[in-house]
Each structure stands twice: as structure tokens, then as C-alpha cells.
Amino acid sequence: MLWFKAVLTLAFLAVMVGIGVYSRKHSRSVDGFVLGGRNVGAWLTAFAFGTSYFSAVVFVGYAGQFGWKYGLSSTWIGIGNAVIGSFLAWVVLARRTRLMTQHLQSRTMPDFFGTRFDSEGLRIVASVIAFVFLIPYTAGVYMGISKLFELGFGSAVPYEFWAVLMATLTAGYVILGGYKATAINDFVQGIVMLVGISAVIALVIHHQGGLATAVDKLAAVAPNADDLAQRGKELYANFKPGDFASCFGPAKMSLLGVVVLTSLGTWGLPQMVGKFYSITDEKAIRRGTVISTIFAFVVAGGCYFLGGFGRLFVKTAFNSESGKFAFDSIIPQMLSGLPEALMALVMLLVLSASMSTLASLVLTSSSTMTLDIIFRDKISGFDEVPSGQIDDSVAARVERRKVVVMRVLIVFFIVISLMIALKPPHFIAQLMGISWGALAGAFLAPFLLALYWKGVTRAGVWACFAWGVGITVVNMLLGNPINPIDCGAIAMLGGFVVVPIVSLVSPRLPARALDKVFACYSDRREEPYRLEMKTCGYCAEGGYLDPFGIKIGELPMSKVYLFKEQSHKGRVIVACKLHVSEITALTSDERDAFFKDVDRVARAIHKLYSPEKVNYGAYGDTGHHLHFHLVPKYKDDDFEWGNVFAMNPKRKFLEESEYSEMVSAYRDAIGL
């Protein structure tokens, strides 16, 4: 059956690369490559969040390690991941992150810190922290997937081969398609994960004689001599018979620390928070919250539940040759007796989980370095703007140059993390603990508080950066006297003490600047506004939009729609993302960003249809939402040439196929 595994794996990988090729047209601009044009729906975003969250590190590393330590109570980690790491993360972060990052036009977390606090220093240091500490996380993912593939295909094909193959393929489809390819692949991979984990759990439990029998067997297990000799006396000091099958296990506080790290930690990881930058609207956020939570319950809860039975399959996790626990080998040993066909499904499960996480990590690291350090203030070469004006051709070249640099950095990042994976310093869970501890310890508290509280200061952010990175690095240099997992939890929670204390005793940002930042969801989010939004075609869309328009996509400050009445070929609407009636209700930055979007769409009209003139109309007497009608005019068509265009002459409508062709052409011309 080796051929079956090989064929199934190759077919799966071919689909991934094919999606990358398909998505290439969406990755020509920086917004398209990094954020999918900020136009990614609920299902793709929810699955992208979930698949980036749960990788081989969870399935092979964490599930095996914590299932061994805590037994069935490790399932609480998966439940915590679903409730805290997914549901609450979406409820607390998604809407505010989307609104403020679009308002500030931030594309990355370091860019958010730099713009929100008006500090180039914060932007650069945050970029370095993100790039450096995403490397061990990525190395841990390589290790997890490669170990399982080595088990599936036997020792004839070594671990190193699989690590290099996964790195090459992941780089391939991310370089080709950017975030859009990653999101579509994440959806496909998420389906595989849901089916795979359900099938594996059912078969493993059946192998033990059913759920009740398996639980009874686990209740009879006690820590072995190796467990007690290797720092296990503290963990199992109060162990009672049956603890491995009990609700809260043998070490409640230790278990709580793991729940905190693996659940709350995602709130501060750049590759996770970045998913909220690109989601389309608030309706998609509500749907995505439900989808993501259910996904996490099944995948994370299933993984840790499965790992809880590890002691029924493995006598000891301690490797006497290395003198260390081989937690990473527990899940592979549990699965070694599976039928070949199911083992092939397991390999696809882990491959799906890992490639989605790898894609998210490398895209985050490359975009951070490119946009926040290399190209932050260098928008063109000196010889490109002799007149001192940045024209469209120069701007287009700069955009292409940034995308090229990001693609080069993807390769650089993958090579470094691959080198670590080939000669790893610790087992998988420790690599992830170090990475999560430093990143979430540095970023979580200042990012979350900055979305809600005007009182956060630059000094408070600097102090938290030093705290999160400092405690993690010092602990590592001292030989990890505090377990990296526990240290990470301390770093994260400590940030919520450090930031407020330092912020209260340090200079605040100017009140006018803060009001400008928080304008994105303050006065415009009062109840009358919300009621009006529900019936506004540009906000609610759906049945309110269908009579007159078809959505083309979203730009940083606007939504673009094809007007169904096409007496003037190419007529479109550019509607502001904020529900305001007047231009005067926008801040200066919002106004500039909106008109930049209008200009971008107008150039697409000229490119596609070559009109003699484009008319611009902004009325809104009855529909109180700021929007512009962009109406191409043609001299060879006498209809309304030289006159004001009618709002809806109702004289020319197209077939659905013709509308689809126009929408596709516009998306390409605009760069969505």
C-alpha cells in the first residue's frame, strides 16, 4: 500500500500547487499578496484561522506530551482553544482589529504598533521580534510533519527528505498565490482535518474495545518510574488512582498554565491576528466566529482527547539513550498499527494542518520584514522620479518590487527554519513554547489594550516588548529552569500588569491624535447608526444590494460594485466602507484613502473601456451612505453625451455570464 500513500499525497500536493497558480492573479499588488485585497469571506477566514492555529505541533507534539502528562483531562486544552483561543478571540479582537487596521491602513502587526503609537522604533523592533521568534515555531512544524511521514513511508525515506520536500512545496504555493492561495488551501486542508481527526479517534477507541473500556483501562494506569524520576515528583505529587481518566487530571494548576498559553497565546501571534485584517465585513465576522469555534472544538478537542489515551499504547515516553522524554513519538506510535488506508488519511491530516500553518508563518515573516523595515519609507529609486512626482508607472513598479522582495524573503525564512528543524535543539513542544511565549508575551497585552484603551503609551509598549522577550530569552539561556510552556504563560499574563503600570506613569499620546485613531469605531457606532446600517444596501448587502449592483470587491477604504444597468458600459459604484452621509464626516486620512480608491477604480475603467470621459456623481438624497457613481461616457454613443447621466435609465441589462465577465475583468484591472 506504499504506492497508495504516495499517489494520494502527490495528488493532494498537486491540488495545493494548482491553487497557488490559480491565485497568482490576486497577488500582483502588496494588498493582494499580503491580505487578499481585504476581501476574504467568513468561511475562508475562519478555516484560515483554524488551520493556522492547529498544526503538526499540536497533533504530534502537544497532543502526545500533554496527553501523557494529564491523561484525558488534556481534552480541556482543546476546549480552551475553542472557547478562548477561537470564540473569544473573534468576539474581542476581530471587529476592532478589522476597523482600526483599515482605518490606520496597517498591513502587519508591527505596522499597527508603529502607526498607532507614531513610532518608527516600535515598528522596527516589533518586526525583528516577529521575524526571529517565528523561526523556531516554523522549525517545530517541520519536525512534526516530517516525523509522521517518516513513520508512514518507513525508514527508507528519511526525515530530512520530508522536511525539505514540505519546505519546497509550501514556498511554491505561497510565492505563487500569496494570501489568497493560502486561504483557499486552508479551506481544503481544513475539510481534510475535520474528516481525518474524526476517523482516527473512532478507530483508536475501537482498537481499545470501545470508549468505556478504554477509559477503564486508563483509570488503572499510574505514573511509571521514569515519570517520577524526571521532575515528575512535582507533577504527580498528589496523584490518586484513576487521575489519568478523571475530569481535571493529576495536576490542575499545571494544566491551567497550558490552557492559558495555547488558548490566550494566539491573541498575540501576528500570523493569527492578521486573519482579521482581511475579512470582508461585520456580517462575515459573525459567521466566522461560529465556524471557527466549531472547527476548533472538533480538531483541537479531538487531538487532545486522542492524546489522552497515549499511555495505553506506549509503556514509557522516556528515551534512555538521549536521556530525555520523546513525547514527539507518542502519537506516531499510537497510529503505527492503523490500516494502511487510514494511515494515508492521517498523513494528509497532518500535511494539511502543517502546510497551512507554514504558509501563514512564512507569509507573515516576509511581509513584516518587507513592509516594515526594507520598504517602509523608500517608495522609489532616486532616478525614478526626476520631476519629484510619483506617477502611476512608478507606483506600480514599487508595488511589484515589494512583492518580489517578499517572495525572496519567504525563501530566506524557510531556509533558516529548515536548518533548525534538521538539527533541532529541543523537542517540538518546547520550540513552540519558546516562540509563543516571546511573541505573545511581547505583543498580546499592548495590542489588545491598544484596541480598547486610549491610555496605552509608547513606554508601556516598549516595556512589554522587553518583558516578553526578556523573560523568555533569559529562561532559555539559564537552561529553562521554568518550563518553556509555563514561562510563556507567565510572559503573556505579566504583560497585562506591565503595560497598565508603565502607561499610567509615562507621557500619553496627544489627545487629538488619539481621537483621530479611535474615530473608526466611536461616534459612528451609536445605535441609530447601527439601525440604519441594517437596511443600507452598501452595509447589509444581500437582498438590499441585489436589485441594482453586484459586488466586485473591497479596497482599503471602499467597496466596489458593478451597476447592473449598463447603458454606459463599465458603470460602477465606489461606496465608502464607513456608514457616513457626508465627506465632511471623514477624517483627513479617511478622505484621502477613499479618493485614492476612487482614483484606482477610475484608472481601471480607462484601462478596460477607454471612454472619452468618466462622470463622477455623489448624490445620496435618499440613500444616506457616501458613494460615487463612476459613469463612462462615449462620443460615438449619443445617449446622454454632454448631459447629466440618469440615476437609473432602465434601458440596458445584461446576461449573468456578461456580468461575471465584467466583474472578473474589473478584479484583474483593479488588482483584487
What residues of the chain score a pLDDT lower than 50? 377-392, 428-429, 523-531
- 471 and 573 both lie in a single domain: no
Contacts of 46 (CB under 8 A, 6+ apart): 287, 288, 289, 291, 292, 295
pLDDT given for residue 226 in this prediction:
78
Is residue 191 within 8 A of residue 44, CB to CB? The reply is no
| Parent domain of 339 | 2-376+394-504
- 414 and 344 both lie in a single domain: yes
pLDDT given for residue 613 in this prediction:
92
Q: Is residue 519 part of a domain?
A: no
- What's the predicted TM-score (pTM) here? 0.74
Q: Is residue 515 part of a domain?
A: no
Q: Which residues of 627-665 are buried (b: 16+ CB within 10 A; e: fewer)?
A: bbbbbbbbeeeeebeeeebeeeeeeeeeeeeeeeebbeb
Write down which residue in 465, 489, 504 finishes a domain. 504
- 473 and 538 both lie in a single domain: no
pLDDT in tens, 258-278: 888 788 888 988 888 888 887
Q: Is the dihedral of CA 281, 285, 291, 292 positive or negative?
A: positive
* The residue type at 138: T
CA atoms within 13 A on the CB side of 589: 16
Write down which residue in 459, 485, 504 finishes a domain. 504
Q: Is residue 281 part of a domain?
A: yes
Q: Is residue 545 part of a domain?
A: yes
- 164 and 216 both lie in a single domain: yes
Q: Is the dihedral of CA 41, 44, 46, 49 positive or negative?
A: negative
Q: Which residues of 398-420 are buried (b: 16+ CB within 10 A; e: fewer)?
A: bbebbbebbbebbeebbebbbeb
Is residue 258 within 8 A of residue 81, CB to CB? The reply is no
pLDDT in tens, 436-478: 788 989 999 999 999 999 999 999 999 999 999 999 889 888 8
The CATH code of the domain that includes 586 is 3.30.428.10
- 35 and 144 both lie in a single domain: yes
Q: Is the dihedral of CA 284, 130, 179, 371 positive or negative?
A: positive
Q: Is residue 614 part of a domain?
A: yes
- 194 and 302 both lie in a single domain: yes
| Residues facing 555 on adjacent strands | 558
pLDDT given for residue 406 in this prediction:
81
Q: Is residue 605 part of a domain?
A: yes
Q: Is residue 225 part of a domain?
A: yes
pLDDT given for residue 377 in this prediction:
46
pLDDT given for residue 386 in this prediction:
43
Q: Which residues of 312-321 are buried (b: 16+ CB within 10 A; e: fewer)?
A: bbbeebbeee
- 487 and 538 both lie in a single domain: no
Structural domain count, the chain? 2
pLDDT given for residue 489 in this prediction:
83
- 421 and 543 both lie in a single domain: no
- 447 and 568 both lie in a single domain: no
Q: Is residue 523 part of a domain?
A: no
- 402 and 541 both lie in a single domain: no
Contacts of 512 (CB under 8 A, 6+ apart): none
- 443 and 563 both lie in a single domain: no
Contacts of 586 (CB under 8 A, 6+ apart): 576, 578, 580, 594, 626
- 538 and 498 both lie in a single domain: no
